[in-house]
Structure 1
Amino acid sequence: MQLAELPLSVRQTRVLLVDDSALQRECAAELLETLGLSLIAQAASGREALTLLRRLAEQQLPLPLLILDLEMPEMDGIELLLQLHEEDLCPPVVLSSGCEEALVATVLDMIRTLRLPLLGNLPKPLSGKDLHGLLQHLPNLASPPVEEAVRPTVSVTVPSLREALRQGHMRPYYQPKIDLKSGQLLGYEVLARWQDPRQGMLYPGDFIALATESGLLPELTFQLVEQVLADAARLQQQGWTPSMAVNIDISMLANRNFANELIARVQASGARAEQLILEVTESALMHDTAATLASVGRLRLAGFGLSIDDYGTGFSTLQQLTRLPFTELKIDRAFVTSAHRNRRSLAILQSAIDMSVRLRLPSIAEGVETIDEVRLLCGLGCSAAQGYLFARPMPGEALLDWHAAHAGKASLEDWFRS
C-alpha cells in the first residue's frame, strides 16, 4: 500500500537513531529515507548520543527526533533519558525496543513523568507503516497543556489553613457522574478547592495532607458539607435531587462524634441522607477498627451511600471491601488513562469492573477524557464515568444553570455532541 507523503516540516526533521545494533540502525535509516527523511545521524550508545545532543545544544541548534533503543552498553536508554532530563535537554522521543511489554510500559510512564516530549513507542523490528503513522503526529507534539504544566511552588501552613477556614475560603467544586448505559446525569462528586487571595486556586494535593496532620480535616469537611447541602437545596427547589458524593478520610470515622454530627447536620438541612454518598479515601489503615466499623454502620443505617474511592490504590483495599458496606466502587483514573496502551492496566481495569459486578455494586470510572475511553468502559461493563469529557469541576454558583442545561440528556451521544 502506498503511504501518503509526510508534511514537508516532518521530512525536514533531523533524526538521531540510538541503538547498539548497526543492522537495526541501518534498517531504520532506510525506512526513514523511504518516507522522505534524509537528515539522519546515528549513535551506538546512550553516551555517544548524549555527546551529540550536548554539542547541538551548545550551538543552539534544534534537537533531533530521538529514536531510542533501551538495551545498550556504556549508557542504556533509561540512563540517557534521565540525563537528558537533568540537563534540561528535551528532544522528542520515539521508544523502539524489543524488551518485554511491562518494562517498556514502565519506561514510557517514566518519560511522561519527566515531561519529555513523547511521540510514541514502536516495537522491533520497525515497520514503515507504523513509523509513518507516528511521524504524522510530529507537528502536533507540544509541551504539556497549561492545566498539566508544572505549577509554581505552593506555600501552605497550619496558620494559613486555619485562617482560610475562618474566612470561608474553602469551596466545593462539582464534577458530574454519567450513567454509561442511559447517558443520564446521576449526580456529582464534590471536590475541595481553596481560593487563596494570594496564591490563587489551591487543590486537594496542596492542603489535604496538612489538614489531616493538623487535625483540621473534620472542620474543613463540615464546611464543605454545609455548602453542598445549601447547593443541593437550591437544586431540590427546582425538582432535582442528584446524588452528592463527598470525600471522607477513613481516619475521621474512628471518632463517633463525626457520624453523629454529620447525621444531625443533614437532618437539620432538610436533605435526605440517601442523596449523600461518602467516598471513603484511605490515607492510612484503620486505627480503631471497632469505632470505624460502628460509624460506617450507623451512617449506612441513616441512609448514606458509601463509596470506596480510588479502588486499587489504597491500603488493604480488598480487605476493606469485605468489612465495609460499600454501595459503589470508584476506579482510579490511572487505570482508565493507561488502559489503551498498557495491557496490565487494562487487565486491572477489567478485574475491578468484574469485581463490582460480582459484588453487585455499580462501578464508576474517574478521569475519563476521550470518547474512546468511554467506549472501552462500556465494552467492559462499567456502570458510570466522570471526567473532563463530560465536564470540568465547576463552582457552586455555576451548578444550577449547568444542571438545568444537561439534566435532560438521555444518551451518551448527547454528551458527545455537546
Structure 2
Amino acid sequence: MTGHSMLLCDDEPALAEEIAEFFTSLGWSVRTCADGLAAERLLSGGLAPSCLVTDLHMPGGGGETLLAVVRSLPPEKQPAVVAVMTGHALEGTTAAAFGADLLYRKPADPFVMAEDLASRLRASAIPPSPPAGAERSILIIEDDPMIRKELAAFLEGFGHQVATSAGVDALDQRPQSAFDVLILDLHLVETDGLKILHGLRDRAVVPDVLLLSGHGESVLKAATTVAERLGLTVLGAYGKPVDPDALARSVARRGLDAAPRDIRTSDPDAVRGALVAALDAGGIPIAFQPKMCARTLVFAGAEALLAGTLPGLDPVRPQDIVAAAAASTELLVRLTLSVLEQAVGGCVRWRHLGWQGPVSVNLPVEVLLAPDAVGTLERVTRAGGLRPADVTFELIEDAVYDSSTAALAALAQLRLAGFGLSLDDVGRRQSGLLQLANLPVSEIKIDIEILRQARTWGKAREIFASLAALGRRLGVAVVAEGVEEDVDLALVRAHSVDYVQGFLISPKRPLDDMLALGLEFEQLRRRYCDGREAAGDEDWDSRRR
C-alpha cells in the first residue's frame, strides 16, 4: 500500500473514474472533482493531497487558473507533485510552461502516470502517509478508567489500534514508533499534560495530539497554543464529557500528507533588482480577490494584491517584495503607484460589466508620508477613470500604531478627498480599538486569525461578534477575511458583518480570471443565499462615506 493521496480534477466522468479506480487499486487515496473551482475549495478547505492531477480545459474553472491558485497557497499546503492533462497537441509544450511537474496527452496511460508520480514523490523525499480515516495507532493517557475504557472501545470500533494508560510511564515503556496519535488528559494525578507536551518534541517519531480537559475552554485553548508553538500537530481539543463521535472524526483527520517544507525567503537584492526591472518595464503583476456582500453574496469590489511573481525569479512571497521595496521610500512609492494604476484599471473593467464596488489597495505609511502623497494618489485615480470614492486604501493596524501628526493629517486629507480608508487586521492586538477612536476609517477588517479560531473556540466567537457589533455601532463597514468554510460564512451571517473575503468565495486571481467568474458567483448565491434579496448595499455605502 503506497499511502499517497491524489486530488483528480477532470470534467470527463468516465476518464476520471478509470484513473481513480486504477490508483485506488494501488493503495492511493483519490478524491475527484469536475472543475477547477471545486478543486480550489477542497484545497482551501484543508485537503492536502500528495499529488494534484488536473485537466487543463474545463468549464466552471479551468486547470490553468487552478494551477495559479495552487502556486499561491502556502508552501506547506501545496501538493508535492502536480500533473496536467490535455486533449490538445503537445508538440513543443512542456509541463514547466504550466508550472507543473508532469504533462500528459489524454487519454493518459495510468501505468505510466503511476510510475512517474511515484518517482517524483521519491525524489521529493515526501514519506507516504496513510489516507484519512485509515487505521491509526493510538495511545490514550487518561487517569479516569471509565473514560479510558469507553474511548478505547469506541475507537477500536473504527479499526484503530488503541492502548491506554493512567500515567506518563506509558510513553517510556512503549517504542518510539508504537503510536502516531496521543490522546492526552491535561490534568493527571502525577503530572500535568503540559509537561508531557514539552517532552513529545524530543521523540524520534512525534505523534499527532488530541487534548482533553475538564477545566474549561481557557485551559484547552492555552494548551493548544503551547502545543502548536512546540511544533506539534493538534488534531482537536475537547472538554469533558467527551463527545466520542467528534473525537473519532478528529482522529481520522491527519496532518498534511507532505511534511512541511521550508518557506524560503528570497534574496532581497535579487528581489529588489527584479522589482526595479518590472517597474521600468511597465508594472509588477498583481491579482484581485473579490469581496462579496455577506448576506446576498453579490460582488461588492475586490482587493488588489501582489501576484507573487517577478521576471527572472521563482515565485516570490509578496511580503518579500514589499520588504525589498521598503529599503527605499522612492521604490516603495513606485510599487504602490504601479499597483494603484492597475487596480484602478481593473475596477473600470468590472464596472463596464455592470459589477459594482470599490477597489482596495494597501497603503504603506511611508507612502502616505511622501511629499504630495494625497495629491499624487488622487491624480493617478482620476487619470485612470475613477473617482476617489471608488478606491479604498487599506492600512495595516500595526503600521499605524504610533501614527504621527503628519500621518493623521494625511489620512484626514484622503477622507476629505473622498477615498475610503480600511483598517486591516483589527483585533490582532489591543491597539486596534485605539485606532478606531483615532483614525478617520470607513471600514474595518477583522483579523483573519480570529475567524479561524472561532471555528473551535467559544471565546474567539464572542470576540468576533463584539468586533462586528462595535463596527456597526461606530458606523463603519465590517469585513470578515479568511472565509474558507461553510461554518465561517454561517458565523459571519449571524453577526453584523457587511462583507466577506476568502477562499470560499475565491482566492486571488489575475483580473481576467476573476472577471470570468460570473457563473461561479451565481452558483455560490444559489447554494448559500436561499432566495435572499440582493439588497442592503445602500446602508453600507452610507456608512462607508
TM range (shorter): 0.7 to 0.9
CA contact (8 A) 2:296 2:529 kept: no
Please tell me the residue identity of whatever aligns with 1:167. A
* Distance in 2 between residues matched to 1:260 and 1:107, nearest whole Å: 51
* 1:149–1:187 distance in 2 versus 1, CA, 3 Å: farther
1:108 has 2:230 as partner: no
Please tell me the residue identity of whatever aligns with 2:255. S
* Distance in 2 between residues matched to 1:231 and 1:119, nearest whole Å: 41
CA contact (8 A) 1:29 1:40 kept: no
1:230 has 2:345 as partner: yes
* 1:101–1:159 distance in 2 versus 1, CA, 3 Å: same
> Over residues 280-329 of structure 1, what are the superposed CA-to-partner deviations in whole Å (9 max), with x where a residue is unaligned?
11344466622112211221122111111111225722222222221111
Partner of 1:32: 152
> Over residues 160-180 of structure 1, what are the superposed CA-to-partner deviations in whole Å (9 max), with x where a residue is unaligned?
324323224732221111112
Deviation at 1:16, TM superposition (A): 1.3
* 1:68–1:408 distance in 2 versus 1, CA, 3 Å: closer
Deviation at 1:73, TM superposition (A): 7.2
1:178 has 2:292 as partner: yes
From 265, 282, 285, the equivalent of 2:380 is 265
Deviation at 1:26, TM superposition (A): 5.3
Partner of 2:138: 15
> Over residues 48-80 of structure 1, what are the superposed CA-to-partner deviations in whole Å (9 max), with x where a residue is unaligned?
344245x243xxx5x243110223477642333
* Distance in 2 between residues matched to 1:64 and 1:410, nearest whole Å: 39
* 1:109–1:248 distance in 2 versus 1, CA, 3 Å: same
Partner of 1:6: none
CA contact (8 A) 1:195 1:201 kept: yes
CA contact (8 A) 2:278 2:311 kept: no
Deviation at 1:33, TM superposition (A): 2.4
Deviation at 1:229, TM superposition (A): 2.0
* 1:309–1:145 distance in 2 versus 1, CA, 3 Å: farther
Give matches, 1:133-148, under 5 Å: 133-139=246-252, 141-144=253-256
Partner of 1:79: 195
**RMSD of aligned Cα (Å):** 3.2
From 291, 295, 320, the equivalent of 2:406 is 291
Please tell me the residue identity of whatever aligns with 2:275. A
Give matches, 1:295-334, under 5 Å: 295-313=410-428, 316-334=431-449
* Distance in 2 between residues matched to 1:32 and 1:366, nearest whole Å: 39
Give TM-score, length-normalised by structure 2.
0.64
* 1:152–1:287 distance in 2 versus 1, CA, 3 Å: closer
From 22, 27, 41, the equivalent of 2:163 is 41
Give matches, 1:369-388, under 5 Å: 369-388=484-503
* 1:301–1:97 distance in 2 versus 1, CA, 3 Å: same
* Distance in 1 between residues matched to 2:481 and 2:233, nearest whole Å: 25
Which deviates more, 352-361 or 87-96? 87-96
CA contact (8 A) 1:285 1:315 kept: no
Partner of 2:244: 131
Q: Provide structure 1 residue ranges, at least 5 long, that are not aligned to the other structure.
A: 1-8
Please tell me the residue identity of whatever aligns with 2:271. S
Please tell me the residue identity of whatever aligns with 2:163. A
* 1:222–1:73 distance in 2 versus 1, CA, 3 Å: farther
Partner of 1:248: 363
> Over residues 344-363 of structure 1, what are the superposed CA-to-partner deviations in whole Å (9 max), with x where a residue is unaligned?
21121111011111111121
* 1:49–1:234 distance in 2 versus 1, CA, 3 Å: same
* Distance in 1 between residues matched to 2:313 and 2:184, nearest whole Å: 40
From 153, 166, 172, the equivalent of 2:264 is 153
* Distance in 2 between residues matched to 1:385 and 1:171, nearest whole Å: 24
* Distance in 2 between residues matched to 1:34 and 1:330, nearest whole Å: 43
Which deviates more, 164-173 or 381-390? 164-173
Give matches, 1:393-412, under 5 Å: 393-402=508-517, 404-405=518-519, 411=525
* 1:376–1:324 distance in 2 versus 1, CA, 3 Å: same
From 360, 363, 366, the equivalent of 2:478 is 363
* 1:213–1:346 distance in 2 versus 1, CA, 3 Å: farther
Please tell me the residue identity of whatever aligns with 1:413. R
Partner of 1:275: 390
* Distance in 2 between residues matched to 1:207 and 1:344, nearest whole Å: 36
1:188 has 2:333 as partner: no
Partner of 2:322: 208
> Over residues 92-112 of structure 1, what are the superposed CA-to-partner deviations in whole Å (9 max), with x where a residue is unaligned?
322112233212112223444
* Distance in 2 between residues matched to 1:30 and 1:240, nearest whole Å: 56
CA contact (8 A) 1:284 1:315 kept: no
Partner of 1:4: none
* 1:56–1:149 distance in 2 versus 1, CA, 3 Å: closer
Please tell me the residue identity of whatever aligns with 2:196. L
What is the DSSP-based 3-state SS (H/G/I as helix, E as strand, rest coil) of the residue aligned with 1:195?
Answer: coil
Partner of 1:70: 186
* Distance in 2 between residues matched to 1:65 and 1:247, nearest whole Å: 43
Please tell me the residue identity of whatever aligns with 1:299. L
> Over residues 330-351 of structure 1, what are the superposed CA-to-partner deviations in whole Å (9 max), with x where a residue is unaligned?
1111111111321221121111
What is the DSSP-based 3-state SS (H/G/I as helix, E as strand, rest coil) of the residue aligned with 1:202?
Answer: coil
* 1:237–1:185 distance in 2 versus 1, CA, 3 Å: closer
Please tell me the residue identity of whatever aligns with 2:277. R
From 206, 209, 233, the equivalent of 1:90 is 206
* Distance in 2 between residues matched to 1:315 and 1:137, nearest whole Å: 33
CA contact (8 A) 2:424 2:447 kept: yes
Q: Provide structure 2 residue ranges, at least 5 long, that are not aligned to the other structure.
A: 1-131, 532-545
> Over residues 354-382 of structure 1, what are the superposed CA-to-partner deviations in whole Å (9 max), with x where a residue is unaligned?
11111111211000011221111111121
CA contact (8 A) 1:249 1:283 kept: no
What is the DSSP-based 3-state SS (H/G/I as helix, E as strand, rest coil) of the residue aligned with 1:66?
Answer: strand
* 1:105–1:232 distance in 2 versus 1, CA, 3 Å: same
Give TM-score, length-normalised by structure 1.
0.82
What is the DSSP-based 3-state SS (H/G/I as helix, E as strand, rest coil) of the residue aligned with 2:267?
Answer: coil
* 1:409–1:133 distance in 2 versus 1, CA, 3 Å: closer
Which deviates more, 250-259 or 390-399? 250-259
What is the DSSP-based 3-state SS (H/G/I as helix, E as strand, rest coil) of the residue aligned with 1:160?
Answer: helix
State the identity %.
27
Which structure's relative contact order is higher, taking Cα pairs within 8 Å and 6+ residues apart?
Answer: 1
